[in-house]
Amino acid sequence: MANPSEPSGINSVEPPPAGSSPAQTVEHYLAGYEAQFKRARRTVKRRASRVTIWASILTGLIAVLGSISARLSTDWISAAVAIATTLVSSVVAALLAWNDHFHHRELWIQRSEVLAEINVLRRRFAMRSSLPRHMRRAEDRDAVATLEALNEVLQNDLESWKRIQNR
């Protein structure tokens, strides 16, 4: 069973089936973490885009409502527009604070980098596995080296995530 979500939002990958070869184990973990980072990347990209778009729309709405309130002569309408302007301003401030707290754009970029590194590991491992047997290093050593490289990528991801969150 996979461990619950790590602090960085990446879930642990289920262990491979019992009796898996070293190559199958590597492929299992590469595929599992690739899927996790694709999901995480989509999530933070979507959030970053939504915050940017909504903050822009609401900022424009503030300007429009402010202009309308300045032009209105009826007191209750002017008051309602002024209140709406204040409410929209507070929503924009909350959205920007939320985005600043979670750093969605930075995480999107960071998750994209990690996904690219995992894809490089996957391609290298697949290429080495497809070579004729006499041209390959020992399969077990290659699998161990690839898993160690994956562990390093995951460790770097966690350190990068901590730096982003501590800003």
56, two tokens: 């822009």
pLDDT bin (cut points 50, 70, 90) of residue 6 is: low
Percent of the chain with pLDDT over 90: 13
Contact 29, 10 (CB under 8 A): no
Phi-psi bin for 134: left (phi > 0), alpha (psi -120 to 50), beta?
Answer: alpha
Percent of the chain with pLDDT over 70: 90
- pTM beyond cutoff 0.85: no
Cα–Cα distances (Å) from 87 to 76, 77, 96, 97, in that order, read: 16, 15, 14, 15
- Distance CA(51)–CA(94), nearest Å, equals 10
pLDDT bin (cut points 50, 70, 90) of residue 139 is: confident
- Distance CA(12)–CA(102), nearest Å, equals 21
